[in-house]
Structure 1
Protein backbone atom coordinates (compact mmCIF):
# COMPACT_ATOMS: atom_id res chain seq x y z
CA UNK A 1 0.00 0.00 0.00
CA UNK A 2 1.37 3.43 -0.97
CA UNK A 3 2.04 6.06 1.68
CA UNK A 4 -0.67 8.46 0.46
CA UNK A 5 -3.22 5.63 0.64
CA UNK A 6 -2.20 4.87 4.23
CA UNK A 7 -2.41 8.57 5.07
CA UNK A 8 -5.97 8.78 3.73
CA UNK A 9 -6.99 5.73 5.80
CA UNK A 10 -5.52 7.36 8.91
CA UNK A 11 -7.33 10.64 8.19
CA UNK A 12 -10.59 8.71 7.79
CA UNK A 13 -9.84 6.86 11.02
CA UNK A 14 -9.43 10.19 12.85
CA UNK A 15 -12.72 11.50 11.51
CA UNK A 16 -14.57 8.29 12.37
CA UNK A 17 -13.34 8.40 15.96
CA UNK A 18 -14.05 12.09 16.41
CA UNK A 19 -17.48 12.23 14.79
CA UNK A 20 -19.05 8.77 14.94
CA UNK A 21 -17.49 6.69 17.66
CA UNK A 22 -16.51 9.67 19.81
CA UNK A 23 -13.60 7.62 21.13
CA UNK A 24 -9.96 8.54 21.80
CA UNK A 25 -7.53 8.08 18.93
CA UNK A 26 -5.30 5.08 19.64
CA UNK A 27 -1.62 5.67 18.70
CA UNK A 28 -1.09 1.92 18.38
CA UNK A 29 -3.85 1.63 15.77
CA UNK A 30 -2.30 4.54 13.85
CA UNK A 31 1.09 2.81 13.95
CA UNK A 32 -0.41 -0.45 12.63
CA UNK A 33 -2.06 1.34 9.70
CA UNK A 34 1.11 3.31 8.92
CA UNK A 35 3.34 0.25 9.18
CA UNK A 36 5.87 2.01 11.42
CA UNK A 37 6.13 3.33 14.97
CA UNK A 38 3.77 6.12 15.99
CA UNK A 39 6.70 8.43 16.64
CA UNK A 40 8.07 7.80 13.14
CA UNK A 41 4.62 8.33 11.59
CA UNK A 42 4.36 11.72 13.30
CA UNK A 43 7.66 12.79 11.74
CA UNK A 44 6.53 11.75 8.26
CA UNK A 45 3.12 13.43 8.67
CA UNK A 46 4.72 16.70 9.75
CA UNK A 47 7.24 16.56 6.90
CA UNK A 48 4.60 15.93 4.22
CA UNK A 49 1.91 18.32 5.45
CA UNK A 50 3.70 21.18 7.18
CA UNK A 51 1.68 20.59 10.38
CA UNK A 52 2.17 18.09 13.17
CA UNK A 53 -0.32 15.24 13.52
CA UNK A 54 -1.28 16.39 17.03
CA UNK A 55 -1.93 19.92 15.74
CA UNK A 56 -4.11 18.58 12.95
CA UNK A 57 -6.16 16.41 15.33
CA UNK A 58 -6.51 19.35 17.75
CA UNK A 59 -7.66 21.63 14.92
CA UNK A 60 -10.27 19.09 13.80
CA UNK A 61 -11.53 18.65 17.37
CA UNK A 62 -11.98 22.37 17.86
CA UNK A 63 -13.50 22.83 14.41
CA UNK A 64 -16.09 20.12 15.18
CA UNK A 65 -16.67 21.55 18.64
CA UNK A 66 -17.47 24.90 17.03
CA UNK A 67 -20.00 23.20 14.74
CA UNK A 68 -21.66 21.53 17.75
CA UNK A 69 -21.88 24.74 19.75
CA UNK A 70 -23.35 26.58 16.79
CA UNK A 71 -25.85 23.97 15.69
CA UNK A 72 -26.96 22.19 18.89
CA UNK A 73 -27.97 22.90 22.46
CA UNK A 74 -25.20 20.74 23.92
CA UNK A 75 -23.72 22.06 27.14
CA UNK A 76 -20.14 23.29 27.03
CA UNK A 77 -19.13 20.66 29.58
CA UNK A 78 -20.56 17.87 27.39
CA UNK A 79 -18.79 19.18 24.30
CA UNK A 80 -15.51 19.39 26.18
CA UNK A 81 -15.68 15.76 27.33
CA UNK A 82 -16.85 14.58 23.91
CA UNK A 83 -13.63 15.83 22.35
CA UNK A 84 -11.34 14.43 25.01
CA UNK A 85 -10.64 17.45 27.24
CA UNK A 86 -10.10 16.77 30.92
CA UNK A 87 -12.23 19.70 32.06
CA UNK A 88 -14.38 22.54 30.71
CA UNK A 89 -11.62 24.94 31.79
CA UNK A 90 -8.96 23.32 29.60
CA UNK A 91 -11.44 23.10 26.74
CA UNK A 92 -12.39 26.76 27.06
CA UNK A 93 -8.73 27.80 27.00
CA UNK A 94 -7.99 25.70 23.90
CA UNK A 95 -11.17 26.84 22.18
CA UNK A 96 -10.40 30.50 22.78
CA UNK A 97 -6.84 30.12 21.51
CA UNK A 98 -8.14 28.48 18.33
CA UNK A 99 -11.26 30.54 17.57
CA UNK A 100 -10.45 33.79 19.39
CA UNK A 101 -13.63 33.66 21.48
CA UNK A 102 -15.02 31.58 24.34
CA UNK A 103 -17.35 28.60 23.79
CA UNK A 104 -20.20 30.58 25.33
CA UNK A 105 -19.74 33.48 22.92
CA UNK A 106 -19.54 31.05 20.01
CA UNK A 107 -23.30 30.54 20.25
CA UNK A 108 -23.94 34.15 19.20
CA UNK A 109 -25.43 34.21 15.73
CA UNK A 110 -23.06 36.77 14.23
CA UNK A 111 -19.84 35.18 15.50
CA UNK A 112 -17.53 33.67 12.89
CA UNK A 113 -15.61 30.54 13.83
CA UNK A 114 -12.42 29.16 12.37
CA UNK A 115 -12.73 25.91 10.42
CA UNK A 116 -9.94 23.52 9.44
CA UNK A 117 -11.48 21.07 6.94
CA UNK A 118 -10.77 17.37 6.79
CA UNK A 119 -7.46 16.81 5.06
CA UNK A 120 -7.44 15.08 1.70
CA UNK A 121 -4.14 13.39 0.84
CA UNK A 122 -2.80 14.36 -2.57
CA UNK A 123 -2.40 11.69 -5.22
CA UNK A 124 -0.65 14.05 -7.63
CA UNK A 125 2.86 12.91 -6.86
CA UNK A 126 5.55 12.49 -9.45
CA UNK A 127 6.94 9.56 -7.47
CA UNK A 128 4.87 7.25 -5.33
CA UNK A 129 6.61 6.28 -2.12
CA UNK A 130 5.94 4.37 1.04
CA UNK A 131 7.59 3.31 4.26
CA UNK A 132 8.36 -0.37 4.74
CA UNK A 133 9.82 -2.04 7.81
CA UNK A 134 11.87 -5.00 6.63
CA UNK A 135 13.56 -7.77 8.54
CA UNK A 136 17.24 -8.44 7.89
CA UNK A 137 18.02 -10.22 4.63
CA UNK A 138 20.98 -11.67 2.76
CA UNK A 139 22.07 -10.57 -0.70
CA UNK A 140 24.34 -12.61 -2.95
CA UNK A 141 25.80 -11.67 -6.30
CA UNK A 142 28.83 -10.34 -8.14
CA UNK A 143 30.79 -7.17 -7.52
CA UNK A 144 33.32 -4.87 -9.17
CA UNK A 145 35.54 -2.17 -7.72
CA UNK A 146 35.20 1.32 -9.14
CA UNK A 147 36.01 4.91 -8.30
CA UNK A 148 32.82 6.91 -7.72
CA UNK A 149 34.66 10.22 -7.86
CA UNK A 150 36.05 10.48 -11.38
CA UNK A 151 32.85 9.81 -13.30
CA UNK A 152 33.92 6.47 -14.75
CA UNK A 153 31.15 4.70 -12.85
CA UNK A 154 28.70 6.10 -15.43
CA UNK A 155 30.30 3.80 -18.01
CA UNK A 156 31.63 0.97 -15.83
CA UNK A 157 28.31 0.15 -14.16
CA UNK A 158 26.28 -0.23 -17.40
CA UNK A 159 29.17 -2.27 -18.83
CA UNK A 160 29.09 -4.51 -15.73
CA UNK A 161 25.33 -5.11 -16.17
CA UNK A 162 25.89 -6.01 -19.83
CA UNK A 163 28.69 -8.41 -18.90
CA UNK A 164 26.53 -10.15 -16.29
CA UNK A 165 23.79 -10.55 -18.86
CA UNK A 166 26.17 -12.07 -21.43
CA UNK A 167 28.06 -14.47 -19.16
CA UNK A 168 25.00 -16.11 -17.58
CA UNK A 169 25.21 -14.33 -14.21
CA UNK A 170 21.67 -12.96 -14.58
CA UNK A 171 20.24 -16.40 -15.22
CA UNK A 172 22.04 -17.87 -12.21
CA UNK A 173 20.95 -15.01 -9.96
CA UNK A 174 17.36 -15.34 -11.12
CA UNK A 175 17.36 -19.05 -10.27
CA UNK A 176 18.55 -18.28 -6.72
CA UNK A 177 16.18 -15.33 -6.11
CA UNK A 178 14.09 -15.87 -2.96
CA UNK A 179 12.68 -12.34 -2.65
CA UNK A 180 8.94 -11.79 -2.19
CA UNK A 181 9.04 -9.84 -5.46
CA UNK A 182 11.54 -11.17 -7.98
CA UNK A 183 14.20 -8.75 -9.12
CA UNK A 184 17.83 -7.66 -9.03
CA UNK A 185 19.46 -5.21 -6.64
CA UNK A 186 22.21 -2.74 -7.47
CA UNK A 187 24.16 -1.22 -4.59
CA UNK A 188 27.29 0.70 -3.65
CA UNK A 189 29.38 -0.24 -0.63
CA UNK A 190 32.13 2.21 0.28
CA UNK A 191 35.60 0.84 0.93
CA UNK A 192 36.61 1.68 4.50
CA UNK A 193 40.29 1.32 3.58
CA UNK A 194 40.19 3.60 0.53
CA UNK A 195 38.03 6.68 0.08
CA UNK A 196 38.80 6.60 -3.64
CA UNK A 197 37.19 3.23 -4.29
CA UNK A 198 33.82 1.63 -3.82
CA UNK A 199 32.33 -1.77 -4.53
CA UNK A 200 29.31 -1.97 -6.82
CA UNK A 201 27.27 -5.16 -6.71
CA UNK A 202 24.42 -6.80 -8.61
CA UNK A 203 22.58 -9.13 -6.24
CA UNK A 204 19.41 -10.98 -5.28
CA UNK A 205 17.86 -11.99 -1.98
CA UNK A 206 18.79 -15.63 -1.44
CA UNK A 207 19.39 -18.34 1.13
CA UNK A 208 21.29 -20.56 -1.34
CA UNK A 209 24.90 -21.64 -0.89
CA UNK A 210 27.32 -19.00 -2.15
CA UNK A 211 28.66 -19.98 -5.61
CA UNK A 212 32.33 -19.62 -6.42
CA UNK A 213 33.22 -16.08 -7.49
CA UNK A 214 30.16 -14.58 -5.77
CA UNK A 215 30.00 -12.33 -2.69
CA UNK A 216 27.36 -11.81 -0.03
CA UNK A 217 26.12 -8.89 2.05
CA UNK A 218 23.80 -9.06 5.03
CA UNK A 219 21.41 -6.13 5.33
CA UNK A 220 20.26 -5.35 8.87
CA UNK A 221 16.63 -4.89 9.86
CA UNK A 222 15.61 -1.35 8.94
CA UNK A 223 12.83 0.95 7.85
CA UNK A 224 13.01 1.92 4.19
CA UNK A 225 11.60 4.79 2.19
CA UNK A 226 10.82 3.04 -1.10
CA UNK A 227 10.39 5.18 -4.23
CA UNK A 228 8.81 3.79 -7.39
CA UNK A 229 10.46 4.77 -10.68
CA UNK A 230 8.37 3.89 -13.73
CA UNK A 231 9.81 3.76 -17.23
CA UNK A 232 12.77 2.39 -19.18
CA UNK A 233 16.11 2.10 -17.40
CA UNK A 234 18.57 3.58 -16.86
CA UNK A 235 16.65 6.85 -17.48
CA UNK A 236 13.88 6.13 -14.94
CA UNK A 237 16.25 5.29 -12.09
CA UNK A 238 18.51 8.24 -12.92
CA UNK A 239 15.53 10.59 -12.95
CA UNK A 240 14.48 9.15 -9.60
CA UNK A 241 17.86 9.93 -8.07
CA UNK A 242 17.71 13.45 -9.48
CA UNK A 243 14.32 13.96 -7.85
CA UNK A 244 15.60 12.69 -4.51
CA UNK A 245 18.75 14.82 -4.61
CA UNK A 246 16.96 17.99 -5.69
CA UNK A 247 13.93 17.76 -3.44
CA UNK A 248 13.39 14.85 -1.04
CA UNK A 249 16.94 14.46 0.25
CA UNK A 250 17.40 18.23 0.55
CA UNK A 251 14.53 18.34 3.03
CA UNK A 252 15.37 14.88 4.42
CA UNK A 253 13.96 14.84 7.97
CA UNK A 254 15.16 11.43 9.10
CA UNK A 255 18.42 9.94 10.25
CA UNK A 256 20.02 7.63 7.71
CA UNK A 257 20.17 4.02 8.92
CA UNK A 258 23.44 2.08 8.78
CA UNK A 259 22.61 0.28 5.55
CA UNK A 260 23.57 0.96 1.94
CA UNK A 261 21.05 2.63 -0.33
CA UNK A 262 19.60 0.12 -2.79
CA UNK A 263 18.28 0.11 -6.31
CA UNK A 264 15.81 -2.64 -7.19
CA UNK A 265 14.99 -3.74 -10.73
CA UNK A 266 11.86 -5.80 -11.24
CA UNK A 267 11.69 -8.95 -13.34
CA UNK A 268 10.38 -7.75 -16.72
CA UNK A 269 11.13 -5.77 -19.86
CA UNK A 270 13.52 -3.07 -18.69
CA UNK A 271 12.82 -1.00 -21.83
CA UNK A 272 9.03 -0.91 -21.42
CA UNK A 273 7.21 2.33 -20.61
CA UNK A 274 5.62 0.74 -17.52
CA UNK A 275 8.76 -1.02 -16.25
CA UNK A 276 9.15 -0.71 -12.46
CA UNK A 277 12.41 0.01 -10.67
CA UNK A 278 12.79 1.32 -7.13
CA UNK A 279 15.15 3.30 -4.92
CA UNK A 280 15.37 2.21 -1.29
CA UNK A 281 16.59 4.75 1.27
CA UNK A 282 17.25 3.28 4.75
CA UNK A 283 15.92 5.49 7.54
CA UNK A 284 15.94 5.23 11.32
CA UNK A 285 12.54 4.44 12.82
CA UNK A 286 12.87 5.91 16.33
CA UNK A 287 10.55 3.76 18.39
CA UNK A 288 9.18 5.14 21.60
Structure 2
Protein backbone atom coordinates (compact mmCIF):
# COMPACT_ATOMS: atom_id res chain seq x y z
CA UNK A 1 0.00 0.00 0.00
CA UNK A 2 2.88 2.39 0.71
CA UNK A 3 4.18 1.91 -2.85
CA UNK A 4 0.68 2.52 -4.19
CA UNK A 5 0.39 5.76 -2.20
CA UNK A 6 3.69 7.01 -3.61
CA UNK A 7 2.51 6.16 -7.12
CA UNK A 8 -0.70 8.06 -6.38
CA UNK A 9 1.37 11.11 -5.39
CA UNK A 10 3.34 10.74 -8.64
CA UNK A 11 0.06 10.65 -10.59
CA UNK A 12 -1.17 13.80 -8.82
CA UNK A 13 2.08 15.61 -9.61
CA UNK A 14 1.98 14.50 -13.25
CA UNK A 15 -1.60 15.78 -13.59
CA UNK A 16 -0.74 19.13 -12.02
CA UNK A 17 2.25 19.46 -14.33
CA UNK A 18 0.19 18.64 -17.46
CA UNK A 19 -2.76 20.86 -16.61
CA UNK A 20 -2.94 22.52 -13.17
CA UNK A 21 -6.48 23.72 -13.92
CA UNK A 22 -7.93 20.21 -14.38
CA UNK A 23 -9.41 18.31 -11.42
CA UNK A 24 -7.43 15.28 -10.27
CA UNK A 25 -9.47 12.11 -10.82
CA UNK A 26 -8.58 10.09 -7.72
CA UNK A 27 -10.87 7.25 -8.81
CA UNK A 28 -8.90 6.79 -12.03
CA UNK A 29 -5.66 6.93 -10.05
CA UNK A 30 -6.92 4.25 -7.64
CA UNK A 31 -8.13 1.96 -10.44
CA UNK A 32 -4.79 2.34 -12.20
CA UNK A 33 -3.08 1.18 -9.01
CA UNK A 34 -5.36 -1.82 -8.57
CA UNK A 35 -7.19 -0.50 -5.53
CA UNK A 36 -10.32 1.56 -4.79
CA UNK A 37 -10.81 5.30 -4.37
CA UNK A 38 -12.36 4.61 -0.95
CA UNK A 39 -9.33 2.69 0.35
CA UNK A 40 -6.78 5.02 -1.27
CA UNK A 41 -8.31 8.15 0.27
CA UNK A 42 -8.70 6.51 3.72
CA UNK A 43 -5.08 5.33 3.78
CA UNK A 44 -3.74 8.64 2.45
CA UNK A 45 -5.62 10.64 5.06
CA UNK A 46 -4.50 8.40 7.92
CA UNK A 47 -0.84 8.34 6.93
CA UNK A 48 -0.43 11.91 5.64
CA UNK A 49 -2.53 13.57 8.34
CA UNK A 50 -4.60 15.39 5.72
CA UNK A 51 -7.23 14.42 3.15
CA UNK A 52 -5.99 13.70 -0.38
CA UNK A 53 -8.21 16.53 -1.65
CA UNK A 54 -6.45 18.96 0.73
CA UNK A 55 -3.05 17.77 -0.45
CA UNK A 56 -4.01 18.38 -4.09
CA UNK A 57 -5.34 21.86 -3.21
CA UNK A 58 -2.20 22.78 -1.27
CA UNK A 59 0.12 21.50 -3.99
CA UNK A 60 -1.82 23.41 -6.65
CA UNK A 61 -1.54 26.64 -4.67
CA UNK A 62 2.16 25.97 -3.97
CA UNK A 63 2.78 25.74 -7.72
CA UNK A 64 0.70 28.88 -8.22
CA UNK A 65 2.86 30.74 -5.69
CA UNK A 66 6.00 29.70 -7.57
CA UNK A 67 4.49 31.02 -10.81
CA UNK A 68 3.62 34.35 -9.18
CA UNK A 69 7.25 34.79 -8.16
CA UNK A 70 8.85 33.67 -11.43
CA UNK A 71 6.28 34.40 -14.15
CA UNK A 72 5.55 37.91 -15.37
CA UNK A 73 1.98 37.07 -16.44
CA UNK A 74 -0.83 39.17 -14.96
CA UNK A 75 -2.86 37.81 -12.04
CA UNK A 76 -5.86 36.90 -14.20
CA UNK A 77 -3.69 34.78 -16.49
CA UNK A 78 -2.25 32.92 -13.51
CA UNK A 79 -5.75 32.49 -12.06
CA UNK A 80 -7.05 30.99 -15.34
CA UNK A 81 -4.00 28.71 -15.58
CA UNK A 82 -5.00 27.17 -12.23
CA UNK A 83 -8.68 26.77 -13.07
CA UNK A 84 -10.21 29.98 -11.68
CA UNK A 85 -12.44 32.30 -13.70
CA UNK A 86 -11.58 35.45 -11.78
CA UNK A 87 -8.79 36.94 -9.70
CA UNK A 88 -11.23 37.16 -6.76
CA UNK A 89 -11.92 33.40 -6.71
CA UNK A 90 -8.23 32.64 -7.17
CA UNK A 91 -7.35 35.05 -4.39
CA UNK A 92 -9.74 33.37 -1.93
CA UNK A 93 -8.31 29.92 -2.69
CA UNK A 94 -4.73 31.22 -2.52
CA UNK A 95 -5.31 33.02 0.79
CA UNK A 96 -6.95 29.91 2.32
CA UNK A 97 -3.67 28.03 1.82
CA UNK A 98 -0.99 30.71 2.27
CA UNK A 99 -2.68 33.20 4.58
CA UNK A 100 -1.85 36.09 2.23
CA UNK A 101 -3.18 37.16 -1.15
CA UNK A 102 -1.43 36.59 -4.48
CA UNK A 103 -0.84 40.34 -4.90
CA UNK A 104 0.98 40.45 -1.56
CA UNK A 105 3.22 37.56 -2.60
CA UNK A 106 4.04 39.18 -5.92
CA UNK A 107 4.99 42.41 -4.17
CA UNK A 108 6.90 41.08 -1.16
CA UNK A 109 7.72 37.46 -1.97
CA UNK A 110 5.85 35.95 0.96
CA UNK A 111 5.33 34.69 3.53
CA UNK A 112 4.23 31.39 1.97
CA UNK A 113 2.97 28.09 3.41
CA UNK A 114 4.38 25.85 0.72
CA UNK A 115 3.25 22.22 0.65
CA UNK A 116 6.22 19.97 -0.22
CA UNK A 117 5.73 16.82 -2.22
CA UNK A 118 4.83 13.95 0.10
CA UNK A 119 6.72 10.65 0.11
CA UNK A 120 5.55 7.70 2.20
CA UNK A 121 7.91 5.32 4.01
CA UNK A 122 6.94 2.29 6.08
CA UNK A 123 8.74 1.86 9.39
CA UNK A 124 8.29 -1.65 10.74
CA UNK A 125 8.68 -1.80 14.51
CA UNK A 126 6.57 -4.78 15.56
CA UNK A 127 6.68 -3.70 19.18
CA UNK A 128 2.90 -3.58 19.61
CA UNK A 129 1.16 -6.65 18.15
CA UNK A 130 -2.43 -6.18 17.00
CA UNK A 131 -4.96 -8.77 18.19
CA UNK A 132 -6.81 -9.40 14.92
CA UNK A 133 -9.06 -11.99 13.35
CA UNK A 134 -10.71 -12.21 9.92
CA UNK A 135 -14.30 -13.44 9.76
CA UNK A 136 -17.18 -13.65 7.30
CA UNK A 137 -20.65 -12.46 8.25
CA UNK A 138 -23.96 -13.11 6.51
CA UNK A 139 -26.22 -10.27 5.47
CA UNK A 140 -27.63 -8.60 8.57
CA UNK A 141 -29.21 -5.39 9.73
CA UNK A 142 -28.06 -2.93 12.34
CA UNK A 143 -31.03 -1.65 14.30
CA UNK A 144 -31.16 1.16 16.84
CA UNK A 145 -31.22 4.92 17.27
CA UNK A 146 -29.30 6.96 14.67
CA UNK A 147 -28.17 10.58 14.42
CA UNK A 148 -25.95 12.69 12.15
CA UNK A 149 -22.88 13.87 14.07
CA UNK A 150 -19.51 15.47 13.23
CA UNK A 151 -16.36 13.35 13.30
CA UNK A 152 -14.04 13.91 16.29
CA UNK A 153 -10.61 12.26 16.04
CA UNK A 154 -9.50 12.36 19.68
CA UNK A 155 -11.29 12.05 22.99
CA UNK A 156 -14.97 11.63 23.68
CA UNK A 157 -17.26 12.87 20.90
CA UNK A 158 -19.69 15.14 22.81
CA UNK A 159 -22.32 14.90 20.07
CA UNK A 160 -22.37 11.10 20.28
CA UNK A 161 -22.37 11.21 24.09
CA UNK A 162 -25.39 13.54 24.05
CA UNK A 163 -27.21 11.32 21.56
CA UNK A 164 -26.63 8.12 23.59
CA UNK A 165 -27.56 9.80 26.89
CA UNK A 166 -30.95 10.76 25.42
CA UNK A 167 -31.87 7.14 24.54
CA UNK A 168 -34.23 5.59 27.12
CA UNK A 169 -32.82 2.56 28.96
CA UNK A 170 -35.93 0.62 27.97
CA UNK A 171 -35.05 1.06 24.29
CA UNK A 172 -31.55 -0.33 24.85
CA UNK A 173 -32.94 -3.30 26.77
CA UNK A 174 -35.38 -4.01 23.93
CA UNK A 175 -32.51 -3.87 21.43
CA UNK A 176 -30.41 -6.39 23.39
CA UNK A 177 -33.16 -8.97 22.95
CA UNK A 178 -32.85 -8.65 19.15
CA UNK A 179 -29.10 -9.37 19.04
CA UNK A 180 -28.83 -12.83 17.44
CA UNK A 181 -25.65 -12.52 15.34
CA UNK A 182 -22.12 -11.10 15.58
CA UNK A 183 -21.03 -8.49 16.42
CA UNK A 184 -22.42 -9.19 19.88
CA UNK A 185 -23.73 -6.66 22.38
CA UNK A 186 -24.77 -3.05 22.07
CA UNK A 187 -22.83 -1.46 19.22
CA UNK A 188 -21.45 1.94 18.27
CA UNK A 189 -21.87 2.09 14.50
CA UNK A 190 -20.32 4.73 12.22
CA UNK A 191 -21.73 4.83 8.69
CA UNK A 192 -21.62 7.15 5.67
CA UNK A 193 -18.11 8.17 6.65
CA UNK A 194 -16.16 10.56 4.45
CA UNK A 195 -13.30 8.40 3.04
CA UNK A 196 -10.94 11.32 3.76
CA UNK A 197 -11.92 11.17 7.47
CA UNK A 198 -11.68 14.95 7.73
CA UNK A 199 -12.16 16.30 11.26
CA UNK A 200 -15.67 17.71 11.54
CA UNK A 201 -17.06 15.85 8.51
CA UNK A 202 -20.49 14.34 9.17
CA UNK A 203 -21.28 10.67 9.68
CA UNK A 204 -24.29 8.61 10.70
CA UNK A 205 -23.88 7.25 14.23
CA UNK A 206 -26.15 4.40 15.32
CA UNK A 207 -26.49 3.09 18.87
CA UNK A 208 -27.90 -0.39 18.30
CA UNK A 209 -27.41 -4.09 17.75
CA UNK A 210 -26.84 -6.58 14.92
CA UNK A 211 -29.83 -8.76 14.10
CA UNK A 212 -31.47 -10.86 11.42
CA UNK A 213 -34.93 -9.90 12.73
CA UNK A 214 -37.19 -7.09 11.57
CA UNK A 215 -36.71 -3.73 13.23
CA UNK A 216 -39.24 -2.59 15.85
CA UNK A 217 -41.40 0.39 14.92
CA UNK A 218 -39.61 3.70 15.34
CA UNK A 219 -36.11 2.21 15.15
CA UNK A 220 -33.50 3.18 12.53
CA UNK A 221 -32.01 0.49 10.29
CA UNK A 222 -28.73 0.07 8.39
CA UNK A 223 -28.79 -2.90 6.01
CA UNK A 224 -25.41 -4.64 5.75
CA UNK A 225 -24.46 -6.99 2.92
CA UNK A 226 -22.70 -10.30 3.52
CA UNK A 227 -18.92 -9.90 3.51
CA UNK A 228 -15.56 -10.19 5.22
CA UNK A 229 -14.55 -8.24 8.31
CA UNK A 230 -11.28 -7.59 10.12
CA UNK A 231 -11.86 -7.58 13.88
CA UNK A 232 -9.37 -5.79 16.16
CA UNK A 233 -9.52 -6.42 19.93
CA UNK A 234 -8.40 -3.57 22.21
CA UNK A 235 -7.91 -3.42 25.98
CA UNK A 236 -7.07 -0.27 27.95
CA UNK A 237 -8.08 3.32 28.65
CA UNK A 238 -11.31 4.22 26.89
CA UNK A 239 -11.65 5.69 24.31
CA UNK A 240 -7.88 6.28 23.90
CA UNK A 241 -6.93 2.61 23.34
CA UNK A 242 -9.68 2.20 20.76
CA UNK A 243 -8.74 5.40 18.90
CA UNK A 244 -5.07 4.40 18.89
CA UNK A 245 -5.93 1.01 17.40
CA UNK A 246 -8.23 2.64 14.85
CA UNK A 247 -5.33 4.82 13.66
CA UNK A 248 -2.88 1.90 13.73
CA UNK A 249 -5.02 -0.10 11.31
CA UNK A 250 -3.99 2.44 8.65
CA UNK A 251 -0.43 3.11 9.73
CA UNK A 252 0.61 -0.47 10.57
CA UNK A 253 -1.89 -3.18 9.71
CA UNK A 254 -3.26 -2.45 6.23
CA UNK A 255 0.15 -1.57 4.69
CA UNK A 256 1.45 -5.03 5.62
CA UNK A 257 -1.65 -7.15 4.93
CA UNK A 258 -3.35 -8.43 1.72
CA UNK A 259 -6.62 -6.65 2.63
CA UNK A 260 -8.16 -3.28 1.86
CA UNK A 261 -11.16 -1.43 3.21
CA UNK A 262 -14.47 -1.70 1.40
CA UNK A 263 -17.40 0.69 1.84
CA UNK A 264 -19.58 -0.12 4.80
CA UNK A 265 -20.20 0.72 8.43
CA UNK A 266 -17.40 0.63 10.98
CA UNK A 267 -18.52 -0.98 14.22
CA UNK A 268 -17.33 -0.92 17.83
CA UNK A 269 -18.57 -3.57 20.24
CA UNK A 270 -17.78 -2.80 23.89
CA UNK A 271 -17.39 -6.17 25.60
CA UNK A 272 -16.50 -4.89 29.07
CA UNK A 273 -16.31 -1.43 30.62
CA UNK A 274 -14.94 -0.36 33.99
CA UNK A 275 -16.32 3.12 34.60
CA UNK A 276 -14.29 3.65 37.77
CA UNK A 277 -10.98 2.78 36.08
CA UNK A 278 -11.96 4.33 32.75
CA UNK A 279 -10.91 1.19 30.84
CA UNK A 280 -12.68 -1.03 28.35
CA UNK A 281 -12.31 -4.17 26.26
CA UNK A 282 -13.59 -3.52 22.74
CA UNK A 283 -13.80 -5.07 19.29
CA UNK A 284 -13.39 -2.83 16.26
CA UNK A 285 -15.04 -4.30 13.14
CA UNK A 286 -13.88 -2.98 9.76
CA UNK A 287 -15.33 -4.18 6.41
CA UNK A 288 -12.54 -5.53 4.19
CA UNK A 289 -11.90 -7.32 0.90
CA UNK A 290 -8.78 -8.93 -0.64
CA UNK A 291 -6.29 -6.52 -2.22
Shorter-chain TM band: 0.3 to 0.5
What is the TM-score when the length of structure 1 is the normalising length?
0.47
What is the TM-score when the length of structure 2 is the normalising length?
0.46
**1 or 2, which has the higher strand percentage?**
2
